[in-house]
Amino acid sequence: MLKKILYIFLPVSLLTIGFAGCNDDDVVDPLPETVPLIVEASAESFVQGETLTLTFRVKDDNKEGLSSNEDFDIYLSAKDGAIDVSKELFISFPSMVTFKKGEESLKVDLPIIKEGMKEREKRYVNIVAFVRGYNVTNSSQEIVISDLHYITMSIKSNSDRVIEEGASFTIQATLPVPVEDDTDINITVPEDQKSFYETLPTKLTIKAGEKSGEVIAATKHNLSPTKDEILVLEFSTLSVVHPLDNEKIEITMKDLEAEKGSKLLDERWVYDRPGLPFTSGTRKEGGEDAVIKKYGEAQSMSALTPHPNAELAAAGWKFYNAWEFHRVGNTNDMWQYKDAYDTYVPLCLAAQNTTTAQTSAAVINDQFSNIIEDGYLRMIEMKIKSNATAPAKGERDYGTAAFYSGSFANAYKANSTLILEGSRMEIRARVRGRKQGFNMAIWLWGNADSPYGEIDILENPATTDGNNRAFQTFHVGEDGNTAKSVNSLQTLSNMSEWNIYWMEWRDANTVVVGINGETTYTLTSANSIVNGNWPFTNERNPKGLKFILTMGAPNKWALNGQGDDWKPDANWDIGFRDYDNYKRDRDNENIPRLEIDWVRTYINKASITEYESTGVSKNGTKFY
């Protein structure tokens, strides 16, 4: 009888190497008990001439020094995509090594070629190890091999490189390994831009033994209406060991006094400073507000504070709740850190892993979503074979993210807001990447045990990558088959930039949708599409509406599909299907993505108690 041992992989260093199990008919003697096989790597980034050392170690958390009671073979491979690079990138790469009986550990040196790589060349290599006859998880991880360790210049926590005039920003230099000696980077700007700064450092130093360094620059606030400026920062270094990967950064500095555009296209009709985060003041770091410390500035908000917009405040809207997607606080507070994917996943939202949502792509939020350092939620879809999550089954060609919130038991943090009569919900969002065939959607839906009612705050059925159609739609009826629909179609100038999409469930008879400062459609209980079946009341939806985020690709509507048996053309994903290496490609500009900066809810009731009168409780965690 075959006895299988589960070796649990615990990442100890920056790299873990997974084992893939396979069947074997030989009888093997197990170790004295199930124990973890820990794999340590000397680093995750290497250059020509260095040696990757893997250490395989048998260890038990309660019994130090546990050793193997049998010989077992470890099979190794190295691939860049489907290409075997074990001979191309390594001087000596064994296809098999043996872990000896009685040993506690095994070290394997994998020397990397000394020359031959091109300047700035990076190879993402999967090092895979497996033990025949053993059933093990985490079968593959990646390392990076390049010609040199380069210094990357960036603006900290600001990948978009957009600031407001008068703001400070942090110039950051990073590289994958510690420098041996102090390394200086010189900073210069064009002569005619020096007047834009209050303070401008001329040098940044990465101290010996460190992997990064940073300095702060501060701009001036010109109170007169001018225009947005493109600030140029240029860098240089004398280091030969660690040259610069990029020698210039351009930053867009927004003019705060610039005249507003149309109500439909300019989000400043809702907030003077839409990018300014909210803070509840509940998270501290070193005694300071962690949100303000991270972003430099934030707006303090508490329950029933009037809307910052004077017109909306006059209309009676008072603050109720927000999801700001700050990456502050500890894991299991606002987010969970997923080590296997290096992602930060929000806890205010749960997986929308229904069978319908996984028709073409597996919903794996741990892998395909991330609260990035800048402070917003990014959802992506990649052509990476992924197993659908329950209740769906089977392998899909794509992996994606999908979320929802609402109708949970009170203990769940994804039940942290209620969408009832008298609520206004705002979502600051943008759609980016190669999005042909997608229908990025932000929507509300009646709960499963309630009559059918759906409000699509945004749908973008993209027939082309540059499609900027913003649909806002109401569906009314007992179920999806008999539902009647009405929608508003707006064409925005650029959906890849931030816009505010909103919904007002004003009362038991009126629901309104809009974009930025524009009301686009008003639906009432007397509207001709309703025919007496009006679902938007607390009586009909006593648990409120669910909030849902989906990417919806490949989408029949977006791809102009016809017929019940429609299937997408084989080339529908031509814009992003070759980006199939998760570590290398997930941040590529071509990857389709839906990004949410924040979700804010206001109410028009005199008190929280009056608003929550249906008796449905919610989790009280503040995600702002």
Whether 7 shows a pLDDT value over 50: the answer reads no
**What are 386's two structure tokens?**
């992924």
- At 481, the pLDDT band (50, 70, 90 cuts) reads low
Over residues 360-406, the pLDDT tens digits come to 999 999 999 999 999 999 999 999 999 999 999 999 999 999 999 98
Q: What is the DSSP string of 458-472?
A: EEEE-SSTT--EEEE
- At 4, the pLDDT band (50, 70, 90 cuts) reads very low
Cα separation of 273 and 296, whole Å? 14
pLDDT of 38: 72
Over residues 454-476, the pLDDT tens digits come to 999 999 999 999 999 999 999 88
Cα separation of 457 and 571, whole Å? 30
Between residues 81 and 109, the one the model is more confident about: 109
Cα separation of 188 and 237, whole Å? 12
Unique residue bearing structure tokens 């001439």 = 49
Say if pTM beats, i.e. exceeds, 0.85: yes
**Structural domains of the chain, ranges and CATH numbers in brackets:** 37-146 (2.60.40.2950), 152-254 (2.60.40.2030), 335-611 (2.60.120.200)
- At 281, the pLDDT band (50, 70, 90 cuts) reads very high
Cβ pair 251, 231 in contact under 8 A: yes
pLDDT of 21: 36
Query: What three-state secondary structure class fits 284?
Result: strand
Residue 373: which of 608, 154, 617, 621 has the closest Cα?
A: 154
- Helices and strands counted in the chain (H then E): 5, 43
Q: What is the DSSP string of 374-391?
A: TS-EEEE-B---EEPPTT
pLDDT of 262: 96
Using the 8-state DSSP alphabet, how is residue 277 labeled? P
Over residues 603-616, the pLDDT tens digits come to 999 999 999 988 88
pLDDT of 65: 63
pLDDT of 574: 92
Handedness of CA 158, 159, 164, 166 (dihedral sign): positive
Whether 309 shows a pLDDT value over 90: the answer reads yes
Q: Give how far Cα 33 sits from Cα of 29, 129, 138, 315, 507, Å.
A: 11, 22, 20, 68, 63
Cα separation of 62 and 32, whole Å? 13
Whether 39 shows a pLDDT value over 50: the answer reads yes
Which of 316-325, 567-576, 579-588 has the largest mean confidence?
A: 316-325
By the 10 Å C-beta count (0-12 exposed, 13-18 middle, 19+ buried), 63 is classed as exposed
Q: Which residues contact 393 (CB under 8 A, 6 or more apart)?
A: none
Query: What three-state secondary structure class fits 268?
Result: helix
Query: What three-state secondary structure class fits 519?
Result: strand
Over residues 89-107, the pLDDT tens digits come to 999 999 999 989 888 888 9
Over residues 107-159, the pLDDT tens digits come to 999 999 999 999 999 999 988 888 775 544 444 668 999 999 999 999 999 99
**What are 62's two structure tokens?**
């309660």
Unique residue bearing structure tokens 């569906």 = 475
Q: For the sheet containing 229-236, what is the strand order?
A: 162-164, 248-254, 229-236, 183-188, 203-206
Using the 8-state DSSP alphabet, how is residue 554 labeled? S
Q: What's the Rg (C-alpha) of the chain?
A: 27
pLDDT of 448: 60
Calculate the dihedral angle through the C-alpha atoms of 65, 71, 73, 74, rounding to the nearest 10 degrees.
0
Query: What three-state secondary structure class fits 350?
Result: strand
Over residues 557-580, the pLDDT tens digits come to 999 999 888 999 999 999 999 998
Using the 8-state DSSP alphabet, how is residue 311 labeled? H
Whether 517 shows a pLDDT value over 50: the answer reads yes
pLDDT of 450: 59
- What pairs with residue 60 in β-bridges? 63
**What are 218's two structure tokens?**
């501060």
- What pairs with residue 127 in β-bridges? 78, 141
First to last CA, the chain: 56
Query: What three-state secondary structure class fits 582?
Result: helix
**What are 312's two structure tokens?**
């909306």
Strand pairing category for 350-351 and 168-174 = unpaired
Q: What is the DSSP string of 114-172?
A: SS-PPTT-EEEEEEEEE-TT---S---EEEEEESS-PBEEEETT-TT-EEETT-EEEEE
Whether omega before 308 lies within 30 degrees of 0, making that bond cis, reads no
- At 67, the pLDDT band (50, 70, 90 cuts) reads confident
Residue 623: which of 316, 312, 301 has the closest Cα?
A: 301
Whether 86 shows a pLDDT value over 70: the answer reads yes
- What pairs with residue 405 in β-bridges? 547
**Proportion of the chain above pLDDT 70, given as a percent:** 90
- At 30, the pLDDT band (50, 70, 90 cuts) reads very low
pLDDT of 18: 38
Q: What is the DSSP string of 584-623?
A: HHTT-TTS-EEEEEEEEEEE-SSSHHHHTTT--------B
